[in-house]
Structure 1
């Protein structure tokens, strides 16, 4: 994924989105392999009941290893208990630990209703990559135009 016109859209539970944006959760774990280079922008979609893009961060690094290895290196930064982690990873042979940096909270979240009003937006089950055209639609859906934090993170990928 060396496409400079792509960002990642990551679905997370609202409590994890809050913790990521507060800086207390710096590693997001996933059951599947994630191949994204450091520096990739990540948009945080908070699932129900929030149902909005609430902020963003950048990928600092990605660890792909066994669930045991990922837990060993990220347990103090993952924002979940060992029990929650084990339940989530049950049956997985590989895991990814995405180290996130530079979190920014949007002043006004971009709600799912607004995203769907301008296109056929579907939040991902886990994550998906978004291209420049998707980012433009997200910018159009923003309540008061593009959030300054989003512009700072995505630079030329979003319209002025």
Structure 2
């Protein structure tokens, strides 16, 4: 099970919930996870401490890192797959939101509404 997400760039804390957007083929927010910790580290340190939790091969991690000297290891837990994914068209219409290439911070109000819709409330 993947419990560490790897990012080249990441917004600073505070984080508690991270929504999961699936770009292909769904093009929808499909669930959320609780963020346990975010640490900035070298690819070598990340591989040594969390490589098995990323579901990446070492070659994939190195390719993703490119020329970056550090990466962000986002340790997550309590994954929830939503009964009702929120498609990109609905996110744009209801919230004026376009998913970024990397990460974006949502207001607590929008995040709560999206989680409620996704959970069928």
TM tier relative to shorter chain = 0.7 to 0.9
Equivalence for 1:111: 87
Q: CA deviation at 1:117?
A: 1.9
Q: Among 135, 143, 158, which residue is 2:111 paired with?
A: 135
Structure 1 stretches (4+) deviating beyond 6 angstroms?
A: none
Partner of 2:67: 91
What TM-score does the superposition give when structure 2 sets the normalisation length? 0.87
TM-score (norm 1): 0.67
Matched with 1:42 is 18
Q: Larger relative contact order (C-alpha < 8 A, sep ≥ 6)?
A: 2
> Equivalents in 1 of 2:21, 2:118: separation in Å?
16
Q: What pairs up with 1:1-160 in 2 under 5 angstroms? A: 24-37=1-14, 40-135=16-111, 138=114, 145=117, 147=119
Describe the shift of the 1:44–1:146 C-alpha distance in structure 2 as closer, same or farther (beyond 3 A). Answer: closer
How many aligned residue pairs are there?
Answer: 121
CA RMSD of aligned residues (A): 2.1
Q: Deviations over 1:47-67 (max 9, x none)?
A: 122111101111111221112
Structure 1 residue 120, shift from structure 2 partner: 2.1
Structure 2 gaps, min length 5: none
CA contact (8 A) 1:32 1:96 kept: yes
The 1-side partners of 2:60 and 2:33 are apart by 23
